[in-house]
A and B are shown apart, each in its own frame.
Chain A
Amino acid sequence: MSAITLKSVKKRYQKSLVVHGVDAEIEQGEFVVILGPSGCGKSTLLRMIAGLEDITEGEILIGGTVVNKLEPRERGCAMVFQNYALYPHMSVAQNIGYALKVAGMPRAERDGKVAKVAKSVSLEAYLDRKPGELSGGQRQRVAMARAMVREPKVFLFDEPFSNLDAKLRVAMRAEVRNLHRSLGVTSVFVTHDQTEAMTLADRLIIMNSGIVEQIGKPSEVYHRPASLFVADFIGSPAMNLVRGHFAQDGYFRHGKGGMIHLPTIAPALISQEVSIGVRPELVRRVSATAKGAIAAVVDYTEELGAARLIYADADGSRIISVDTATDALGTGMPIHFAIDPADLHVFSHDTGRRIELGEAQRAATQTRINA
């Protein structure tokens, strides 16, 4: 039995539909991250699970029971809010222990539990402070301790690290990961930060404008994006996406008269409007004479330290390549790339969905996913 089930869940505010029928299954003990650009309905979805928003249509089940009509307190979820939402007038200990107090737990037992949880997030020295006297990272920990102390069935996180600086964010990420490993509580984590999502998630739910674009493991999402949106959204630098069509002559035609020799790809796709995609790290530099070389002109480069990004123009289409060579490259210099057809992703231009190609490509992506 799944820990959480979403059955065509919809949310409507006045007239606008902000969550368009989401279906998902979240397994017991799984760490699921809902990822998407801001405003796409992630928080709304999470808050419907928490019971903070009414569910317009569809059903949400937690532990097999429909919870649509249940109050937040009856759902067994704990939540960590984006701005922490600590009670400013209560001490850290009171903040953490409030849920227990409400539940009527005797004082002594409560204090013991609070102390134990505080210790697990290294807050034991701050129990008497008010939230206003804590640093951002400490507040974050209080918020987590407050969620943990109730031993909930489900943890919900709404962009909990977005107010922290980059370094602290990385540290907190590791901490959450460890906590999850030791507690094993089903967790749903909302973020718009793909690095955070990729590093934390067992599985990702990728959303865009209220629609689920893809559900899958981080490596699946990366190596086999189900849609143009996912291909573009996941990965940094973003995937090269070139719009055009396959012609009879075995060339892919794009941009202003651009031609890429891709003979064996897919006879069925001929003259259909598509986008082909390839990850910048899989775009190789080759010599001008290499077979199937794509001629381009360097626009500019970006130094990353370990490598550099080459932004080039191939007959009106932008090509980005991750390059480890160290030769001097100036604007306007000619450059040549090659791509392996097995590394290609093809997306229908009409539907934005992925088009599966032949066995070779499937095998190549599968190897990467498994790696």
Chain B
Amino acid sequence: MERRAFYRNGTLPWLLLAPQLLLVLVFFYWPTSQALYWAFTLEQAWGGGNTWVGFANFLAIFRDGQYWATVGRSAFYAICATGLSMAIALTLAMFVDRALKGTRIFQSVFVWPYAIAAPAAGVAFRFIFSPEAGLIGSINDIWPGIWSPATNGWHALGMVIVCHAWLGIGYNFIFFLAALQMIPKSITEAGAMDGARPFQRMLDLQLPLIAPTVFFLMIMNLISSFTDSFGLIDTMTEGGPIGATEVMVYNIYIDGFKGLDYSGAAAQSIVLMVLVIALTFVQFRWVEKRVHYS
């Protein structure tokens, strides 16, 4: 869709764009180029001389088994949290889409998790999952020691994933519901006339028709599993026990800001950026092929 009516003016558009461009330049392009610079050089502590080392920083992290463990953990985390959150949100959206009486109330509550800061949710879930406190911890009274996120890495990771999935419900729900509501009512009705029962209509009609949204959300969730995870892990486990919940972003933070390995952290950042950009491109390619209702 291209416009035909434009304004022509030599300087005005540049004046309008200047603040945004300036900010983007200062806070995006410059730092990114810096990161590239750091990633390919080795720095003597903060601000010392830098020596060009080529791909050495990358090779260093790629040779590090610990790093791959982090990548694997991040992938596991991302896939589980995304799958869980989307499955719950989709189910809820499908039922809300039936628009029975009183659905409004449910609909607005389902959006709430969107408003919550990841660290705040982290704190709440930490209490809920605390082995000492009286919620999930209660089962330790029945089977002592069965639940122990402070020592068992899988428990800790599971706890963070559940919290992450919960946080994503609101966002996913909004998009799923909108996509479902965008399906013309008459298509569902045609399905009913053709004899399909509700569940079959879900599988044959609704799900394929919202496939682009499913895909979009998958990418957004995967990206958010890099971003939101920091606040959760920092408040819930601080990467522990023994690194069992250290994911890529957290690792960058620890290496760069606690370990002061700036070059290593920069190289990890570049890897993460490439990963996110790749995901986004996949997303853009897919979005072009959206279903159009004629």
Contacts and interface: CB of A to CB of B under 8 A. Distances in A.
The answer to whether any beta carbons of A and B sit under 8 Å apart in the complex is: yes
A81 B186 contact: yes
Contacts of B134: none
Contacts of A167: none
B204 interface: yes
A98 B190 CA distance: 10
A98 B193 contact: no
B194 A85 contact: no
B196 A86 contact: no
A98 B194 contact: yes
Nearest to A158: B186
Contacts of B186: 81-83, 85
A146 B193 CA distance: 10
B192 A99 contact: no
Interface in A289-334: none
Given A87-B205, A88-B209, A102 B294 contact: no
A73 B195 contact: yes
Contacts of B209: 88-89
A363 interface: no
A99 B197 CA distance: 11
B151 interface: no
A150 B195 CA distance: 10
Interface string A61-94: 0000000000111000111011111111100000
The bracket for how many chain A residues form the interface is 20 to 34
Given A72-B193, A85-B184, A98 B204 contact: yes
Contact of B187 (A52, A72, A85, A102): A85
A71 B195 CA distance: 9
B179 to A, nearest CB: 13
Nearest to B195: A73
Chain B interface SS verdict (over half): helix
Contacts of A183: none
Contact of A99 (B194, B208, B211): B194
A83 B183 CA distance: 13
B189 A88 contact: no
Interface string A130-154: 0110000001000000100010000
A102 B190 contact: no
A88 B193 contact: no
Nearest to B197: A73
A173 B189 CA distance: 24
A103 to B, nearest CB: 6
Contacts of B211: 89
A82 B294 CA distance: 12
Contacts of B196: 73, 98, 102
A51 B193 CA distance: 8
A85 B293 CA distance: 9
A69 to B, nearest CB: 15
A88 B293 contact: yes
A50 interface: yes
A101 B184 CA distance: 22
B193 A87 contact: no
A78 B189 CA distance: 11
B256 to A, nearest CB: 46
Given A88-B209, A131-B294, A81 B204 contact: no
B22 interface: no
Contacts of A71: 192
Interface string B15-35: 000000000000000000000
B200 interface: yes
Contacts of A86: 187, 190, 294
A72 B192 contact: yes
A132 B194 contact: no
Interface string B227-264: 00000000000000000000000000000000000000
Contact of A88 (B191, B192, B292): B292
B273 interface: no
B294 A81 contact: no
Instruction: Pick from B195, B205, B208 the residue with the most CB of A within 10 Å.
Output: B195
A51 B194 CA distance: 12
B195 A99 contact: yes
B184 A103 contact: no
A81 B194 CA distance: 12
Nearest to B194: A99
Contacts of B193: 50, 52, 72-73, 77-79, 99
A81 to B, nearest CB: 5
B190 A87 contact: yes
A207 to B, nearest CB: 21
A86 B193 CA distance: 12
A141 to B, nearest CB: 14
A83 B184 contact: yes
Interface string A8-45: 00000000000000000000000000000000000000
A78 B191 CA distance: 11
Interface of B: 184, 186-187, 189-197, 200, 204-205, 208-209, 211, 291-294
18 contacts: A50-B193, A73-B194, A78-B193, A79-B189, A81-B186, A81-B190, A82-B186, A83-B184, A85-B184, A85-B186, A85-B189, A89-B208, A98-B191, A98-B204, A99-B193, A102-B195, A102-B196, A132-B292
Interface of A: 50-52, 71-73, 77-79, 81-89, 98-99, 102-103, 131-132, 139, 146, 150
Given A87-B191, A99-B194, 9 more contacts: A52-B193, A73-B192, A73-B197, A78-B193, A82-B186, A83-B184, A83-B186, A83-B294, A89-B208
